[in-house]
C-alpha cells in the first residue's frame, strides 16, 4: 500500500495569527506536523501552502512543500490543487492531515490509508465513541451515524442518534448501548475524487450544518469510516492549545 500525506497550511487564522509558523520546541508547527506524518508509512509528505514564508520554513527543515492559490474556500480545495500540481494518478491514496495537528499519531494515518486501500469509497475518515452527555449535546462536537457496513450515513452538530425515551427522562447521561460517535476531522481520498468533489454544488445540509463532508453524502458518494477506541490528541485552535502543546514538547 502506497499513499501520500498532504498537509494544507494557510497563513490566515482568526484565532491564532500565523499559526503554521508558531514555534513548538524550536520548530514551526507545520514542520512538527510533517515530521509526525513522516513517521507513518507514507511514501511522501508534502505541505500545501499559500504563503512563501511557510514554504521557506519547510525548506529549512527538509520538508517538501508546494505553493497553492490564496483564495481556496476550504482545505479540500487546496488539497485538490496540490494533487494536480504533484501529478498524482487518479487511483492514488491521499491522506489529508491538518496543519494544526502536531501531535497526530502516525498509526492513525496508517489506519486511515489502509481503510482507503481496502474499500471502494472515494473518501474515508475516523470516529471515536462518545461517552459524555455534555459532549453529545455540544454543537461544536460533530456526531456521525454509521450503517452496518461501516459507512457514514450523516454528520451533524445535533445530538444524533437521539434516544427519545431515555432523553425524555434525563439528558444527564447517555443510555447504555447508544451508538454515539464523534467525528475526527482527518480524511483520506482517492486523488481522482478531489477535482470531482470541488466541482460539486454546495449541499443545503452542508450550508446549514457548516460541515463540508455533507456535500459528499448529498451527491450520493460514500464515506468509509474507521472507529478508534478513544480520542486522539487534540489539535491547536487557540493560544491556550498552543501553550498546552508547547508544554508537552518541552516535557519530552
pLDDT in tens, 4-29: 999 998 887 667 778 899 999 999 99
Q: What is the pLDDT of residues 171-186, one digit of tens each?
A: 999 999 999 999 998 9
Q: Where are the domains of the chain?
A: 3-231
Give the pLDDT band (50/70/90) at residue 251. Answer: confident
Q: What is the pLDDT of residues 28-57, one digit of tens each?
A: 999 999 999 999 999 999 999 999 999 999
pLDDT at residue 71, rounded to an integer: 83
pLDDT at residue 69, rounded to an integer: 87
Q: Which fold has domain 3-231?
A: Spore Coat Polysaccharide Biosynthesis Protein SpsA; Chain A (3.90.550)
pLDDT at residue 172, rounded to an integer: 96
Q: What is the pLDDT of residues 190-229, one digit of tens each?
A: 999 999 998 999 999 999 999 999 999 999 999 999 999 9
* Nine cell digits for residue 221: 458518494
* Nine cell digits for residue 96: 489529508
H/E stretch holding 221 reads: none
Q: Are 215 and 202 in contact (CB under 8 A)?
A: yes
Beta strand residue intervals within 130-180, DSSP E: 143-146, 152-156
- Its pTM stands at 0.91
Q: What is the pLDDT of residues 105-146, one digit of tens each?
A: 999 999 999 999 999 999 999 999 999 999 999 999 999 999
* Nine cell digits for residue 244: 498546552
Amino acid at each position: 500500500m502506497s499513499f501520500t500525506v498532504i498537509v494544507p497550511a494557510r497563513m490566515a487564522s482568526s484565532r491564532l495569527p500565523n499559526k503554521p509558523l508558531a514555534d513548538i520546541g524550536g520548530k514551526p508547527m507545520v514542520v512538527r506536523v510533517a515530521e509526525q506524518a513522516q513517521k507513518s508509512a507514507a511514501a511522501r509528505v508534502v505541505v500545501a501552502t499559500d504563503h512563501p514564508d511557510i514554504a521557506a520554513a519547510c525548506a529549512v527543515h527538509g520538508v517538501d512543500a508546494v505553493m497553492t492559490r490564496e483564495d481556496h474556500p476550504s482545505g479540500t480545495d487546496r488539497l485538490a490543487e496540490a494533487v494536480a500540481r504533484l501529478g498524482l494518478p487518479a487511483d492514488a491514496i491521499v491522506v489529508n492531515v491538518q496543519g494544526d495537528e502536531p501531535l497526530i499519531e502516525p498509526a492513525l494515518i496508517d489506519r486511515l490509508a489502509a481503510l482507503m486501500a481496502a474499500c471502494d469509497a472515494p473518501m474515508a475518515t475516523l470516529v471515536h465513541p462518545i461517552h459524555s452527555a455534555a459532549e453529545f449535546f455540544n454543537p461544536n462536537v460533530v456526531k456521525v451515524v454509521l450503517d452496518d457496513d461501516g459507512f457514514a450515513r450523516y454528520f451533524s452538530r445535533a445530538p444524533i442518534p437521539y434516544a427519545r425515551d431515555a432523553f425524555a427522562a434525563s439528558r444527564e447521561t447517555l443510555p447504555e448501548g447508544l451508538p454515539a460517535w464523534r467525528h475526527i476531522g482527518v480524511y483520506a481520498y482517492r486523488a481522482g475524487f478531489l477535482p470531482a468533489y470541488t466541482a460539486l454544488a454546495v449541499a443545503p445540509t452542508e450550508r446549514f450544518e457548516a460541515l463540508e463532508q455533507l456535500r459528499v453524502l448529498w451527491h450520493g458518494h460514500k464515506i468509509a469510516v474507521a472507529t478508534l477506541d478513544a480520542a486522539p490528541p487534540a489539535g491547536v485552535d487557540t493560544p491556550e492549545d498552543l501553550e498546552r502543546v508547547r508544554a508537552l514538547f518541552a516535557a519530552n
